[in-house]
Copies of this chain bind each other. A is one copy, B any other.
Amino acid sequence: MEEVRVDDILTQIRDLLDRKNFVSLRHELAEIYPMDLAEIFEELPPDECLVLFRLLHKDQAAEVFSYMEGAARKELASSIRESLLQHILDELYFDDKIDFLEEMPANFVKNLIQNSPQEERARINQFLNYPDNSAGSLMTIEYVDLKKHMTVGQALARIKEIGPDTETIYTCYVLDDTRHLEGIVSLRRLVLSGEDELVSDLMNDDVVLCMAHDDQEEVAEQFKKYDLMAIPVVDGESRLIGIITIDDIVDVIEQENTEDFQKMAAMTPSDEEYLDTGVFKLAKNRIVWLLVLMISATFTGGIITHFEGLLSTAVMLTAFIPMLMDSGGNAGSQSSTMIIRGIALGEISLRDWPKILWKEFRVGLVAGCTLGIVNVGRMFLIGNRDYMVMLTVSLTLMVTVVIAKLVGGILPIVAKALRLDPAIMAGPLITTIVDALSLFVYFTAASLLIL
């Protein structure tokens, strides 16, 4: 649905661009949603992007700019003339401005803000200093502030006056004279109430709020739990310093999920887009864990070396090692994924550990027995008629699956208890642990049953 829309527009634009029909192009561009234009601009080569961007009305240019991302935006910012860039910056909401400045090199930023008033410059520097992933890095300073003693009529008049410059007017913040947050009131409440009612009677004074240094993941939890549209950010003396709106939180949710996916596949998380990330950066994010896991596999190798005597008398045992290791690894990641995800969504907490172990034990038994039985059939079909080997492999498979389920189920909980991120206890690490255990079970069973 959406892809078609953008592709159609792109074809049309390319056509006009090729025919150098700039008048029609200007009209055409004015009709397009800024989000669609942002997407198109990210796909075009930088020079064409620049041509089109110059054809936009200044305000539309600012809006498109705010929706662009990554390398394309950086490129564009460095090629447009400074006066246009200044205008765009003035038009951006404060949180978008900070986002953009964070991406650009320090020198560029310094030049850009040196003409801003002292106060604005100080504030920009303060906001640039909030740690990545903190509530402070997400907030904006444009909001509607009301006073307790206002009537609904006065409040609506105030909204009309300052509303056009604020990111949202749907939640309004009631402040005292020293900017302490006394409560919030929704526009819904105001519009549905009588002109003469008092803000103090309509406002909610038990406000869900956060602090500038809170982790963005916790803030996102609040939004999900309380169905918020915006959250106020206060300082240590509960003075309002900014608000965070839901559109930014939707991005945070996706970003936190991406981080979990990356950690679970044994990578250092990064929020840069894949295509914008350089080869060495990508390699660096991946190599550390590959090395850790490779070196821990030394242990698995040691188990095999220990049983070399057994293997040289029964070399056909080797053929089942990959299957046993992979099944154990897969069974373990299934469990760890379920638990890691349950913890991330707040559905599973530390005190659930006995329930998890008991559940995984039974699931492991059902899955292990099924696999063991199917394995007998499989070995029979590929022509293996040595019943003791068959028994050894199927027994190991069952035990391995049960162990893998238990290990996969409990390690994320252990991580959580140690205040580590449960996501690091995913597939790759569990595979390494389960490999060693399953080989040990395998060779022990083989020693007893075959020799």
A contacts, CB < 8 Å to B? 1-2, 31, 33, 35, 39, 156, 159-160, 163-164, 169-170, 187-188, 191-192, 206, 208, 210, 214, 218, 221-227, 229, 246-247, 250-251, 253-254, 257-258, 260-262, 264-267, 273-275, 279-280, 282-283, 286-287, 289-291, 293-295, 297-298, 300-302, 304-305, 308, 311-312, 315-316, 318-323, 325-327, 329-331, 333-334, 336-342, 345, 347-348, 352, 355, 359, 362-363, 366-367, 370-371, 374-375, 378, 382, 397, 401, 427-428, 431-432, 435, 439
Contacts and interface: CB of A to CB of B under 8 A. Distances in A.
A362 B206 CA distance: 55
A83 to B, nearest CB: 28
Which one of A192, A247, A274, A291 has the greatest number of beta carbons of chain B within 10 Å?
Answer: A274
Contact of A341 (B160, B261, B316, B435): B261
Nearest to A284: B366
A15 B247 CA distance: 40
B253 A254 contact: yes
A6 to B, nearest CB: 9
Main secondary structure of the interface of A (DSSP, over half): helix
Contacts of A308: 315-316, 318-319
Contacts of A282: 338, 359, 363
Contacts of A320: 301
A176 to B, nearest CB: 23
26 contacts: A1-B214, A160-B191, A187-B188, A246-B246, A254-B345, A258-B341, A262-B341, A266-B330, A275-B352, A279-B362, A282-B338, A286-B367, A289-B330, A289-B334, A290-B330, A290-B367, A291-B371, A294-B397, A300-B323, A304-B319, A312-B315, A318-B321, A322-B435, A322-B439, A325-B325, A330-B431
Contact of A1 (B210, B253, B274, B321): B210
A50 to B, nearest CB: 22
Given A286-B363, A319-B301, A326-B431, A342 B274 contact: yes
A363 B322 contact: no
B225 A35 contact: yes
A293 to B, nearest CB: 6
Nearest to A291: B374
B275 A355 contact: yes
A187 B192 contact: no
Contacts of A362: 279
Contacts of A375: 294
Contacts of A169: 188, 191-192
Contacts of A316: 305, 308
Contacts of A214: 1
- Count this chain's copies in the assembly: 2
Nearest to A169: B188
B322 A378 contact: no
A397 B301 CA distance: 15
Contacts of A192: 159-160, 163-164, 169
Contacts of A251: 224
A286 B334 contact: yes
Nearest to A310: B315
A339 to B, nearest CB: 7
Nearest to A401: B290
A73 to B, nearest CB: 14
B253 A156 contact: no
B337 A267 contact: yes
Nearest to A219: B1
Contacts of A342: 273-275
B333 A266 contact: yes
A360 B298 CA distance: 27
B164 A187 contact: no
A322 B345 contact: no
A375 B301 CA distance: 13
Looking at A280, A302, A321, A348, which has the most chain B CB atoms within 10 Å of its CB?
Answer: A321
Given A253-B254, A282-B363, A294-B326, 17 more contacts: A1-B214, A169-B192, A227-B247, A250-B250, A258-B345, A265-B330, A275-B342, A286-B367, A287-B367, A291-B371, A297-B323, A302-B382, A305-B316, A308-B319, A312-B315, A318-B321, A325-B325
A298 B257 contact: no
